[in-house]
Amino acid sequence: MELVKPTTDKFTIAAALQEIGSLLELKSGEYFKARAYKAGARAIAELTEDIGKLIKQNRLTFVKGIGFAIAKQIQEVYATGESPLLKELRSELPPGILELANVPGLNLKKIDQLHKALGISSIPELKAACEAGKVRQVKGFGARSEQKILEALASPVNRKPRLHLHHALRISERIIEFLSTAPGFVRAEAAGALRRRQETVSEIVVVAGGQRPAALVDRFSRFPLILRVEERSSRQLVAILTEEIKAALLAVQPEDFALALWRATGSEAHLRKLDLIAAKKRLKITLRGIEGLRRKGSKTKPVRPKAEPEIYARLNLQFVPPELREDEGEVEAALKGTLPDDLIKTEDIRGMVHCHTTYSDGKHSVEEMVHAAEQMGMKYITITDHSPTAFYAGGVKIDRLQRQWEEIDRVQEQSKIKILKGTESDIIADGSLDYPDWILEQFDVIVASIHSRYKMNEDQMTRRIVTAMRQPVFKIWGHALGRLLERRPPFACRVEEILDVIAESRAAIEVNGDPYRLDMEPRWLRAARKRRIKFVISVDAHSTGALHNLKYGVAMARRGWVRRGEVLNTQGVKAFQKAVRPV
Ligand SMILES: [Zn+2]
Ligand SMILES: [Zn+2]
């Protein structure tokens, strides 16, 4: 057991609470007590206030999720570096129990027997003992149970949940914050598919640079959300976090950071192409640096790039941003120098598009949404509540619409940013839009979306959308293909044909930033770009917090190679209003 120094560090305290929770659960099945400690661990890990201050002012129990018993343990850890309860639990239970309890078929009693008979306190020890045929000799075990343990250890975890982008990003940020207090820490960044901003990821990869990589690995091994460690070396640690989320840390010296990050970001296909280009130039990119190969087979001293752009520059390529590294033509474009260098950025956006309020199914009032958008530096906001057909989402009937407009006028008087009156009008099954034309024509902006009858066949759906698009008031195509990530696929329709129709109009395609939608997807954005179709990047916000969906919409647009000039809500309010005005 290690001695923990007295600390003001919230993560050490959270780790102690998490371990208490897990041990309590194993010890006596005290499920609710265990859960309370785990909830306490989460609450502490997510604290934004200084924990020392909370303790001094006796305000710990004011934090949601922390009761008196847990507060007492927190104070102990804070003052002495140890929790008496944790100490007691550890001494009562066999060592390695948290790791071993994850093996199917092992419970506390059996783990205790294995420990007493064979001194087993880890998975590798258990595996070795099974292979040597020793486990079958322990009371309560036999050849069959030994075989079963071996099978369980060999089979990879077959449940592979995919995480939504926003969730994965949040966890990676917490890992990085946690690592940043390790001795010698210099920097860390999420890599892999997450850095490429794929809609969902199967694992979180973080690359960290520090004077002592082993200290970073050690630090990560105590991340409070870790359920079990799958692989560990002095440079790397792969762990399963709560909710079966896989997270890997790769720790390197600070001077190796850029190359390690680049490799860990991928994609495999993108890296392979770059390796080929390097080989043609008689260069080799290794984790030690970029080496020149001499004729006789000897190598030049490796040059370590300080940052990723140096890698691309050395190969005479334009820099390829991470979101584009999918081997979808970006390497060829970078070779020719035709990669867009003005890809859309979050800072370019000047107006919040597609916001709901309490008038339909939003959580916040017009005033609250407007205020929050203003705080984020926006110059305008479009209020687009649901139309009457979306009755389940409290679609706004005409009389209430009038009240909303009056309210908007009132809020506008005190607001510095322009509020545009809009609707998210349903595209009805026959392709017409909700609300009569004389109403539609009075909106500043209409987002037209499908919310029902998803299961039409390809012909019907294509006709429905094309019919909707041919109406002059159709200016923004909302969450185009109706997908819900991991839950509902895009609906069947002939996308290319529809893009041809929209290209003939002045309508734009929405890039929906709701992390459960992220619609339309990057490959279709590229197809739309080829037709010179414009975009709006929207938040589809149902609360003020969801205005931050903007960054996910921007990430999708970047993956679709969308440039600043192709996004309507980068424009000032006058130009935007003119571009989307229904008539
Ligand atoms: Zn919608
Ligand atoms: Zn919406």
- CA–centroid distance, residue 424 to ligand 2 (Å): 6
Closest CA to 148 of 113, 109, 105: 105
Which ligand lies nearest to the CA atom of residue 360 in the structure? 2
**Gap from CA of 397 to ligand 2 centroid (Å):** 16
Q: How far is the CA of 370 from the centre of ligand 1 (A)?
A: 19
User: Ligand 1 centre from 464 Cα, in Å?
Assistant: 17
Question: How confident is the model at residue 299, as a pLDDT?
Answer: 76
Closest ligand by atom to 356 CA: 2
Ligand 2 centroid from CA 414, angstroms: 26
Cα(437) to ligand 1 centroid in Å equals 20
Ligand nearest to the CA of 384: 2
Task: Output the CA–CA distances (angstroms, integers) from residue 73 to 61, 80, 96, 192, in the order listed.
Answer: 12, 10, 22, 38
Q: Are 163 and 200 in contact (CB under 8 A)?
A: yes
517 CA distance to ligand 1 middle (Å): 10
pLDDT in tens, 218-254: 999 999 888 889 899 999 999 998 877 899 999 999 9
CA 362 to ligand 2 center in whole angstroms: 9
Judged by its nearest atom, the ligand closest to the C-alpha of residue 543 is: 2
pTM value is 0.77
CA of 527 from ligand 2 middle (Å) equals 24
Question: What is the distance between the alpha carbons of residues 465 and 438, in angstroms, rounded to a whole number?
Answer: 21
Domains of the chain: 10-92 (1.10.150.110), 97-154 (1.10.150), 163-258 (3.30.460.10), 273-336 (3.30.210.10), 346-580 (3.20.20.140)
Contacts of 176 (CB under 8 A, 6+ apart): 188, 189, 190, 206, 208
Q: Using the mean position of ligand 2's atoms as its centre, give its distance from the Cα of residue 544 in Å.
A: 14
- Cα 577 to chain centroid distance, Å, stands at 32
Supply the pLDDT for residue 376: 97
**What is the per-residue pLDDT for 159?**
44
How many A from CA of 93 to the centre of ligand 2?
52
Axis-axis angle for helices 84-92, 10-28 (nearest 10): 40
| Cα 355 to averaged position of ligand 2 atoms, centre (Å) | 7
Q: CA of 368: how far to CAs of 355, 415, 422, 514, in Å?
A: 11, 11, 17, 19
For position 2, what pLDDT does the model report? 39
Query: How many angstroms does the Cα of residue 194 sit away from the middle of ligand 1?
Result: 26
Residue 4 has a pLDDT of 40
CB 423 within 8 A of CB 447: yes
Q: Which of 226, 11, 4 is nearest to 99 (CA)?
A: 226
* Ligand nearest to the Cα of 482, by number: 1
| Parts of the chain with a pLDDT under 50 | 1-6, 158-159
Q: How much distance in Å is there from the Cα of 450 to the middle of ligand 1?
A: 7
Ligand 2 centre from 540 Cα, in Å? 5
Q: Is 412 exposed, middle or buried (0-12, 13-18, 19+ CB in 10 A)?
A: middle
Starting from the CA of residue 546, give the closest ligand.
2
CA of 387 to the centre of ligand 2 (A): 10
- For residue 77, give the 3-state DSSP assignment: helix
pLDDT computed for residue 83 by the predictor: 87
Among 433, 421, 352, 435, which residue's Cα sits nearest to residue 581? 421
Alpha-carbon distance values, 572 to 74, 345, 351, 484, 535 (Å) = 51, 16, 8, 31, 15
518 Cα to the center of ligand 2, angstroms: 12
Ligand that lies nearest to the alpha carbon of residue 450, given by its number in the listed order: 1
Please tell me the number of the ligand nearest to residue 478's CA.
1
- Measured in Å, residue 194 CA sits from the centre of ligand 2 at 25
Nearest CA-CA partner of 307 in 371, 370, 262: 262
Q: How far is the CA of 520 from the centre of ligand 1 (A)?
A: 13
CA of 354 to the centre of ligand 2 (A): 6
Give distance in angstroms: CA of 489 to centre of ligand 1: 15
65 sits in the region (left: phi over 0; alpha: psi -120 to 50; else beta) called left
Q: How far is the CA of 389 from the centre of ligand 2 (A)?
A: 13
Q: In what order do the strands lie in the sheet with 236-241?
A: 185-190, 203-210, 245-252, 236-241, 226-232
Give the Å distance between the CA of 324 and the centre of ligand 1. 28
Give distance in angstroms: CA of 108 to centre of ligand 1. 50
In tens, the pLDDT along 59-74 reads 998 888 888 889 998 9
CA distance 371 to 361: 19
How many CA atoms lie less than 13 Å away from 368 in the CB half-sphere? 15
The reported pLDDT for the residue numbered 408 is 98
Among the bound ligands, the one closest to the CA of 452: 1
Residue 205, phi-psi category: left (phi > 0), alpha (psi -120 to 50), beta (remainder): beta
Between the CA of 550 and the centroid of ligand 2 the distance, in Å, is 14
Ligand 2 geometric centre to CA of 80 (Å): 51
**Which numbered ligand comes closest to the C-alpha of 422?**
2
CA distances from 337 to 104, 280, 312, 329 (A): 55, 18, 12, 12
Distance CA 174, CA 206 (A): 11
Expressed in angstroms and rounded, the spacing between residue 498 Cα and the centre of ligand 1 is 19
Kindly state the tokens that stand for 223: 């991340």
